[in-house]
Amino acid sequence: METTLVSVGVAVAFCAFFVTEGLVVGKLLQPAVFFVAYVSVLTPPWPIVGVVLVGCALGATIGQWVLYRAFTPTASAPGGDRWSFAILDRLPGLVRRWLGRRWIGLVERQVDRFGALGVVVCTALPVIRTVVPIVAGLSAYPERRYAAAAGAGNLAYMLLLLGAARGVLGLGRLFVGI
């Protein structure tokens, strides 16, 4: 019983941590590193890993959805009525300039060409996943399709991280650049 409660607590903590991963804070803290360390150092049993993995994917999807909503011109962001600063009105244009045409163009082409599959693949890739909710929001990609595709992409990303943590098929090389 105590092990189950600890496992659920770890899953909830990782879920909350991955919500920040979907937002800007996660770009600085890198929750993926903590997930890989948790799985590789503590080596929890597979059922616990499964619960934590799903919690992480859910948390990342929630965080990315909030970011998506913040950049969707046709919808108000969660808490948008409290965001009245003039800089926030200019935020989509500033982000487009900050990210650059190259990254935005790459993700826009994939989303336009492949639709939900493009969102899934781009969300599953370690570097590009940062840009996907912003680009999807700016392009007013349909919200439900985005949320479902981002969830699938985050699950694929977490499976890649699990493979890296457990050393499956040399996936660890993908993250360390060897």
- For residues 74 and 63, give the distance between their C-alpha atoms in angstroms, rounded to a whole number: 19
**Average pLDDT score over residue span 108-116:** 82
Would you place residue 85 in the very low, low, confident or very high pLDDT band (cuts 50, 70, 90)? very low
- Report the mean per-residue pLDDT for the chain: 76
Would you place residue 159 in the very low, low, confident or very high pLDDT band (cuts 50, 70, 90)? very high
Would you place residue 58 in the very low, low, confident or very high pLDDT band (cuts 50, 70, 90)? very high
Between 77 and 112, the higher pLDDT residue: 112
What are the CA-CA distances from residue 143 to residues 82, 117, 152 (Å)? Answer: 22, 15, 14
pLDDT(81) > 80: no
pLDDT(50) > 60: yes
Would you place residue 122 in the very low, low, confident or very high pLDDT band (cuts 50, 70, 90)? confident
Task: Give the residue among 56, 77, 58, 59 at the shortest CA–CA distance from 67.
Answer: 77
Range from 60-64, 123-127, 145-149 that averages highest in pLDDT? 145-149
Read off the tokens for 177.
Answer: 């650049």
**Average pLDDT score over residue span 33-52:** 86
- For residues 161 and 158, give the distance between their C-alpha atoms in angstroms, rounded to a whole number: 5
**What pTM does this model have?**
0.76
pLDDT(128) > 70: yes
Would you place residue 31 in the very low, low, confident or very high pLDDT band (cuts 50, 70, 90)? confident
* 3-state secondary structure at position 177: coil
Query: How many domains would you assign to the chain?
Result: 1
The residue range of the domain holding 129 is 2-176
pLDDT(36) > 80: yes
